[in-house]
Amino acid sequence: MKGVRVDCYLPGAYGSAEFRAAYEAAVEGARVPVARAAPGTVAFLIETYLASSAYADLAAKTKSTKRGRLDWIKTAIGEAKYADLLPRHVEALMDKKGGPEAANRCKKDLAQLYELAAKRFGFRGQNPAKLADSRKTRKGGFHTWTDAEIAQFRDHFESGTQARLAFEVFLGTGAARQDAAALTRANIRGGRLSYRRGKTGQEVDLPILPELARELAHVASTQMVLIGHGDGQAYRPESLGNWFRDRCVEAGLPHCTPHGLRKAGARRLAEHGATEWEVMAFLAHGTAKEASRYVAAANRAKLTTSGLARLRVKKEQN
């Protein structure tokens, strides 16, 4: 409704008949018929969380993803009494997810629901999600591009190509897929590029590196989005990621990803002496926790280099 804001909880999985019925009722200004879950159930905790300020304060993309995961849990075990769940029940639920990362996210979401139960309803039982065993995942997550791989991609895609432009955007700005897909000329001013990160809401303000400036000069003056397709239309984040992965395969780098370039940008900063706060600003994180890993890794490399150098000097003296 134009000029009227409707703010209410909509029951059911997104797109389901129950969700659509509630949505249409809300648009018509009617009271949304919400069939509340029975107190003491997992579904009751989920509904309580979805109506909380903690959920409302999440970024739109994070909120949508989180809602999807919680709807899945609600469908699977919503009617169960949360006081009755044991670690083995949580692990059985985790086994139904598509992979170790998804299983661990399920465990984390359930643990958060139990923390809500303790804080809001005085639940004093165990948190079975915290006691459940996590699934083993790839150490370090997405592969971080090496300097050799960066050079290989640049050698394969010459300056002026769409692939090279996207590459320099990911590497030079640290933008995630959803942010890179949304960048336009309006984000550029005075030799700097600024945007608000979709996932964290953090403001980013970066100088445009020479490599990126060279590629931006090739973008048609009539095109608003920086990375476009067809007649300059913007990519959807998922489509941009898939398209760029195909370019990586063409360059002989099938194991490389856009997110790995974001990590490479942070690695390069750390290796050149950037502080945790400087790396944090580049990544648009809310805390320095993740940035400290890059700085620590860079410092370890420097320490091993200087340590082995001392050993060589000692051998030469002998």
Annotation: CATH topology of 147-302? hpI Integrase; Chain A (1.10.443)
Given a cut of 50, whether residue 190 has pLDDT beyond it is yes
- Given pLDDT bands bounded at 50, 70 and 90, which one contains residue 239? very high
This model's pTM is above 0.85: no
If residue 207 lies in a helix (H) or strand (E), which one and from where to where?
Answer: strand 203-207
Give the CATH number of domain 36-131; options: 1.10.150.130, 3.90.1150.10, 3.40.50.720, 3.20.20.140.
1.10.150.130
Given a cut of 70, whether residue 22 has pLDDT beyond it is no
Asked whether this chain's domains 36-131 and 147-302 adopt the same fold, the reply is no
Average pLDDT over residues 150-162: 96
The percentage of the chain sitting over the pLDDT mark of 70, rounded to a whole number, equals: 83
For the stretch 63-96, pLDDT in tens is 888 999 999 999 999 999 999 999 999 999 999 9
For the stretch 265-289, pLDDT in tens is 999 988 888 888 888 889 888 787 8
Average pLDDT over residues 229-249: 92
- Long-range CB pairs of 222-225 (<8 Å, 24+ gap) are 224/184, 224/185, 224/186, 225/181, 225/182, 225/183, 225/184
DSSP 140-204: TSSPPPPHHHHHHHHHHS-TTSHHHHHHHHHHHH---HHHHHH-BGGGEETTEEEEE-TTT--EE
List the domain boundaries for the chain.
36-131, 147-302
Given a cut of 80, whether residue 161 has pLDDT beyond it is yes
Average pLDDT over residues 294-302: 76
